[in-house]
Chain A
Amino acid sequence: MPIHVEIVTQEKLILDEPDADMVVLPGSEGVLGVLPHHTPLLTTLDFGELRVKKGGTEEVFAVYGGIVEIRPDKVVVLADTVERAEEIDLELAEAARRRAEELMRQGPPPDELAIIAQELRRAELAVKIRRRIQSRAGTVRIREAGESES
């Protein structure tokens, strides 16, 4: 039995995949690998990598918080923010990371510390996921950003 995976944000539906084999989620209590017939579960999401496996391919997303509803036949991700790994702009993410690092080194004002720390985590994650995707591009077919959907 396949799992129906939906990823939605407040602004739009990001992914609707009716026949996934497995989903790997960055749960706040640890990484979850969800196979069909999983017990019903509601959990919050951490920043992390979300993978949807189907056949030999997998789609990778960077998720920045949210919740997920898991049912035996369905996984619904309500993400705060989510990016397709292929759509991450590596240069922009690197630049954001460097900027955040620089700010951290300078010792930011306490009221901005949390925001900058989060920004840093976010940028680091984006860079990490994008890099991994690129290094794997030989084995798994990855759609480049800008390339058409077909």
Chain B
Amino acid sequence: MPNVRDIKKRIKSVKNIGQVTRALEAVSASLARKAQVQAFASRPYSQKAWEVLVNVASQSNSTNGAPLHPLLVVRPEVKTIAILLISGDRGLAGTYNANIIRVATEFVQAHCAQNGCGVRWITVGRKGRDTLLRMREQVVAEFSNLPASPSIQTVIPIARTVIDEFLSGEADQVFIAYTDFINTLTQKPVVVNLLPLQPFQTTDQPVMEYVKREPTVTTEGREYLYEPSAAAILDEVLPRFTELQIYQAILESLASEYAARMVAMRNASENAEALAGDLQLSFNKARQMAITSEILDIVGGVEALSGQAERIVADMQREFMMTEHGAR
């Protein structure tokens, strides 16, 4: 039986932990909401940029069939792929980090089984990087310690790295692995195509959930004038659109991370409460036990003493009798 003081100490520390987890839960909840709002705010640009992109791309396709921009070129043979893995910098988020890393590596295995196996990883977030390095994967670039609510400026270097990987021919196709925020309790890790951009394949694009599919908007057969040229416009739109896709994937992932952390912390707080309750019970028991044993000690002492006294009296009487007899 642990002693009363030890239990008291444990109760205190468990309650402290409970306080910390409750605070972290509240912080995560507000950050999750913020990331969601931020992701939502970039929606109009996604919508418009997509419309322009589809429009220009369809026009260029109809004229000579050849894509107008290198970022639109689908390579016939995909030898090496690059994966942009978005994970968190910190743990304490339930299965968030483990899930996205697992889904990404499983995707690679499935991909490898079909095609050759050249994979170059670009990681955002410390957890993903550390895990991949431990698995001795090839990590060609890493970005970590992103701010809690990143701006598009934070994303530009990441996008540049990704675009360079693709354009330099180091990778023939680029995928992005991120966690799609569905709601506070559900987040879905996904791997989708990032480059080359495929304007006519509307599924599998991170931004697509933000783009309303309105066939009337894009294919009105409107003939646009391009100034200075369609290629120049694509030059401007495509990198921006790629940045935006990465930006939104990061925001989705952040919202997911915070939501996962919030749920994990809520569970932790509840556990701490239950644990504190249990400990309180055993504390009461131990205290009761200590009191009982103290009383027993006293009673026993008294008992023992009183028995001893009787014996001493009896001995003295006997001795007295013997001396009396002897004297006679």
CB-CB under 8 A from B224, the residues of chain A are 40-42, 69
B42 near A78 (CB under 8 angstroms)?
Answer: no
A71 near B222 (CB under 8 angstroms)?
Answer: yes
Task: Report if A27 contacts B (CB, 8 A).
Answer: yes
Known A10-B243, A11-B41, A40-B222: A29·B48 in contact at CB below 8 Å: no
CB-CB under 8 A from A78, the residues of chain B are 45, 48-49, 52, 237, 240
Known A42-B52, A43-B227, A78-B52: A9·B233 in contact at CB below 8 Å: no
Task: Report if B321 contacts A (CB, 8 A).
Answer: no
Tell me the bound Cα distance from A41 to B243 in angstroms.
Answer: 24
CB-CB under 8 A from B223, the residues of chain A are 40
B222 near A42 (CB under 8 angstroms)?
Answer: no
Task: Report if B228 contacts A (CB, 8 A).
Answer: yes
Known A10-B244, A69-B52: A44·B236 in contact at CB below 8 Å: yes
Task: Report if B232 contacts A (CB, 8 A).
Answer: yes
CB-CB under 8 A from B277, the residues of chain A are none
User: Pick the contact of B226 from A8, A11, A43 — CB < 8 Å?
Assistant: A43
Task: Report if A12 contacts B (CB, 8 A).
Answer: yes
A42 near B226 (CB under 8 angstroms)?
Answer: yes
User: Pick the contact of A9 from B45, B55, B226 — CB < 8 Å?
Assistant: B45
Task: Report if A26 contacts B (CB, 8 A).
Answer: no
Smallest beta-carbon distance A33→chain B, Å: 14
CB-CB under 8 A from A44, the residues of chain B are 227-228, 232-233, 236
Q: Which of A27, A40, A71 has the most B CB atoms < 10 Å from its CB?
A: A40
Task: Report if B19 contacts A (CB, 8 A).
Answer: no
Smallest beta-carbon distance B34→chain A, Å: 13
Query: Is chain A's binding surface mostly helix, strand, loop or mixed?
Result: strand
Tell me the bound Cα distance from A112 to B44 in angstroms.
Answer: 33
Over the window 25-51 of chain B, the binary record of Cβ atoms lying under 8 Å from chain A Cβ atoms (1 yes, 0 no) is 000000000000010011011001101
Known A10-B240, A78-B52: A41·B225 in contact at CB below 8 Å: yes
Nearest opposing residue in chain B for A45, CB measure: B236
Task: Report if B56 contacts A (CB, 8 A).
Answer: yes
CB-CB under 8 A from A40, the residues of chain B are 222-225
Smallest beta-carbon distance A45→chain B, Å: 8
Nearest opposing residue in chain A for B235, CB measure: A44
Tell me the bound Cα distance from A49 to B48 in angstroms.
Answer: 21
CB-CB under 8 A from A9, the residues of chain B are 45, 152
Over the window 31-57 of chain A, the binary record of Cβ atoms lying under 8 Å from chain B Cβ atoms (1 yes, 0 no) is 000000001111110000000000000
Smallest beta-carbon distance A6→chain B, Å: 7
Task: Report if A59 contacts B (CB, 8 A).
Answer: no
Over the window 64-79 of chain B, the binary record of Cβ atoms lying under 8 Å from chain A Cβ atoms (1 yes, 0 no) is 0000000000000000
Task: Report if B151 contacts A (CB, 8 A).
Answer: yes
User: Pick the contact of A28 from B48, B49, B227, B237 — CB < 8 Å?
Assistant: B227
CB-CB under 8 A from A13, the residues of chain B are 41, 44-45
Task: Report if A80 contacts B (CB, 8 A).
Answer: yes
Task: Report if A76 contacts B (CB, 8 A).
Answer: yes
Smallest beta-carbon distance B51→chain A, Å: 8
Smallest beta-carbon distance B103→chain A, Å: 27
Known A11-B42, A67-B233: A29·B227 in contact at CB below 8 Å: yes
Task: Report if B247 contacts A (CB, 8 A).
Answer: yes
A10 near B247 (CB under 8 angstroms)?
Answer: yes
Smallest beta-carbon distance A36→chain B, Å: 16
Q: Which of A43, A71, A80 has the most B CB atoms < 10 Å from its CB?
A: A43
A27 near B49 (CB under 8 angstroms)?
Answer: no
Smallest beta-carbon distance A23→chain B, Å: 15
Nearest opposing residue in chain B for A7, CB measure: B44
CB-CB under 8 A from B237, the residues of chain A are 67, 78
A67 near B44 (CB under 8 angstroms)?
Answer: no
CB-CB under 8 A from A27, the residues of chain B are 227
Tell me the bound Cα distance from A42 to B56 in angstroms.
Answer: 9
4 smallest beta-carbon distances between A and B, as pairs: A43-B227, A12-B41, A8-B44, A8-B45
Contact sample, A vs B, 5 pairs, CB 8 Å cutoff: A6-B44, A8-B45, A29-B228, A42-B56, A76-B48
Q: A44-B233, A65-B236, A80-B240 are in contact. List 17 more A-B contacts (CB 8 A).
A: A8-B44, A10-B240, A12-B41, A28-B227, A29-B227, A40-B224, A41-B224, A42-B225, A42-B227, A42-B233, A44-B232, A44-B236, A66-B236, A67-B52, A69-B224, A71-B222, A78-B49
